[in-house]
């Protein structure tokens, strides 16, 4: 793909503007940053920043390219991951956030310390730091640099370190505030670029008769690409197992990710208030409904325009090639925005967990606020440099980096969900019972991965492990005496009521989802 001079200027101006805006947002105005300022934006984030930042942290370039590739192969069924996530966000906002904000926590492990003890906190803190550095950061860096290489021919190693520099340049000084407030621009570019790709592709399919006519042609030509529920004889059934995507193990991944993942929930923890946080999460839920048009539809259009692609992952880059000069540069800038926002979110979360849950709690009793901020910045720098150094050795020789991510995170996801659900809503859960859940999740997941048939759906594995892990957690608490724990959450003191606007928005999202699945079942 060749960029015109105008495209290069737009990309350069975008990168410089991002750094300048983040620097301006990060100004201290003569005030020393506290740990709350750096890690939680002083608990002052508005709803629009929270919602935009949630999406920016979630969507990265390799996900856009990968999901468009799946749209090329499977069709709109892959959008289930995006559409049903809206429900998970609503549940998180209504039932999880009121407890977390009431406890005034910085991190997910800190909540487990309040509910159980320091050992549970330490185990989960070390786990998350390792996962974020060696799985999440490495994968976003490597796959993001591969995406840039595919689009531009730019050397992978140069692209990787350029992403590191850009991410640190706009997030290191300002912390969560710089990340969240600039994410509003990142998400705007991301959605604008994706919609532009879809619009121009559909318009070209209709021979310049308009995108509506183009969409009707696509529906008529390849109607099977709009089946939301795959039949058992579909080649991709093991990845998207029919109706089970709506009632099975996918919810384990959704609730663990959107409800208890530090680099996701940290945005909501930095809100001005609970209603502001809930408005932000609802905004993110509505944006999720747009994602199929932004990232999946271009891949489906490629089936009509370029039916003989040698690799599905080339679908999105091929569709970008349709864009005129200027708009191409803006769309490429949107891809860079997706990568650096995810990187910044993850490094900020690593620094928050390490500083507040390991350094502060276990290595030093009395630490002033300025030193915590310095430690946080150093950890953010070290974590992304380590991830960059490890990216190619860990991922460079794998056929599927997505499989690497799926296998390793999926081993722990059911246990994480069990741990937090019982911590929030079950007074009899003990420290030992949740540690058993964590260990059982790992052992059972590995066992099923090794011995289950190759075509056994990954989502079924997560669902089964979740149920078995939950039972083992229950049995452990039963053996220990089955009594209410002193540190259990008093649910009667938590206000779970939501505003009228939140409730109406929930109904609107549910109706939209029912219509989508009814029309394209």
Provide mean pLDDT across the span 212-227. 91
76 HSE (CA, 13 A, CB side):
24
- All structural domains of the chain, each given as residue ranges with its CATH number in brackets, are 5-410+490-519 (1.20.1730.10)
**Contacts of 512 by beta carbon, 8 Å cutoff, 6+ apart:** 289
pLDDT at 32: 66
Please write the tens of the pLDDT for every residue from 330-384: 888 888 888 888 888 889 889 999 988 888 876 656 777 788 888 888 999 999 9
pLDDT at 222: 92
Of the candidates 143, 59, 501, 137, which has an alpha carbon nearest to the alpha carbon of residue 351? 137
Q: What is the pTM assigned to this prediction? A: 0.90
**271 strand-pairing partners:** 45
pLDDT at 273: 92
- Most confident by average pLDDT, 234-248, 271-285, 330-344: 271-285
pLDDT at 490: 92
pLDDT greater than 80 at residue 151: no
pLDDT at 421: 96
Of the candidates 316, 312, 315, which has an alpha carbon nearest to the alpha carbon of residue 335? 316
Of the candidates 264, 256, 292, 519, which has an alpha carbon nearest to the alpha carbon of residue 409? 256
Are the C-beta atoms of residues 339 and 18 closer than 8 Å to each other? no
- Most confident by average pLDDT, 7-11, 185-189, 343-347, 462-466: 462-466
pLDDT greater than 60 at residue 401: no
pLDDT greater than 60 at residue 399: no
Quickly state the pLDDT bin for 242 (edges 50, 70, 90). confident
Provide mean pLDDT across the span 33-46. 80
Are the C-beta atoms of residues 318 and 302 closer than 8 Å to each other? yes
pLDDT at 146: 80
Provide mean pLDDT across the span 156-168. 89
Quickly state the pLDDT bin for 407 (edges 50, 70, 90). low
Q: pLDDT over 90 for what percent of the chain? A: 40
């Amino acid at each position: 793909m060749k960029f015109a001079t105008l495209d290069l200027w737009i990309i350069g101006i975008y990168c410089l503007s991002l750094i300048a805006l983040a620097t301006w947002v990060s100004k201290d105005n003569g005030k020393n940053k506290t740990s709350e300022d750096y890690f939680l934006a002083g608990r002052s984030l508005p709803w629009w920043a929270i919602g935009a930042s949630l999406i920016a942290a979630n969507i990265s370039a390799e996900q856009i390219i990968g999901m468009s590739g799946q749209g090329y192969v499977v069709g709109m069924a892959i959008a289930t991951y995006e559409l049903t996530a809206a429900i998970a966000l609503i549940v998180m906002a209504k039932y999880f956030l009121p407890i977390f904000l009431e406890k005034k926590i910085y991190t997910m492990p800190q909540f487990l310390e309040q509910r159980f003890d320091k050992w549970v906190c330490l185990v989960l803190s070390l786990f998350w730091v390792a996962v974020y550095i060696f799985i999440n950061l490495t994968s976003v860096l490597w796959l993001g640099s591969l995406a840039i290489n595919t689009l531009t021919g730019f050397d992978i190693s140069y692209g990787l370190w350029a992403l590191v520099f850009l991410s640190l340049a706009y997030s290191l000084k300002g912390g969560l505030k710089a990340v969240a407030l600039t994410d509003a621009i990142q998400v705007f570019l991301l959605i604008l670029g994706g919609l532009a790709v879809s619009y121009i592709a559909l318009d070209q399919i209709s021979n310049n008769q308009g995108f509506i006519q183009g969409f009707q042609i696509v529906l008529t030509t390849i109607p099977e690409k709009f089946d939301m529920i795959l039949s058992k004889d579909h080649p991709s059934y093991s990845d998207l197992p029919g109706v089970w995507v709506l009632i099975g193990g996918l919810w384990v991944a959704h609730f663990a990710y959107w409800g208890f993942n530090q680099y996701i929930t940290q945005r909501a923890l930095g809100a001005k208030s609970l209603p502001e946080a809930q408005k932000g999460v609802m905004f993110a839920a509505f944006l999720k409904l747009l994602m199929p048009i932004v990232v999946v539809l271009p891949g489906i259009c490629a089936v009509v325009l370029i039916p003989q692609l040698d690799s599905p992952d080339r679908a999105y880059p091929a569709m970008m090639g349709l864009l005129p000069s200027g708009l191409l540069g803006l769309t490429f800038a949107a891809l860079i925005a997706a990568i650096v926002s995810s990187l910044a979110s993850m490094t900020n979360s690593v620094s928050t967990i390490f500083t507040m849950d390991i350094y502060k709690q276990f290595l030093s009793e009395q630490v002033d606020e300025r030193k915590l901020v310095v430690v946080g910045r150093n950890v953010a720098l070290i974590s992304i440099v380590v991830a960059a150094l490890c990216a190619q050795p860990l991922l460079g020789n794998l056929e599927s980096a997505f499989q690497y991510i799926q296998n390793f995170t999926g081993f722990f996801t059911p246990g994480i969900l069990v741990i937090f659900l019982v911590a929030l809503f079950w007074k009899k859960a003990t420290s030992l019972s949740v540690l058993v859940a964590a260990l059982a999740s790992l052992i059972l997941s590995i066992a099923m991965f090794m011995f289950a048939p190759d075509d056994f759906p990954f989502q079924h594995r997560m669902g089964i492990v979740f149920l078995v892990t939950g039972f083992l957690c229950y049995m452990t608490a039963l053996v220990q005496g089955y009594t209410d724990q002193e540190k259990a959450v008093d649910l009667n003191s938590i206000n779970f009521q939501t505003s009228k606007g939140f409730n109406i928005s929930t109904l609107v999202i549910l109706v939209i989802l029912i219509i989508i699945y009814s029309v394209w079942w």
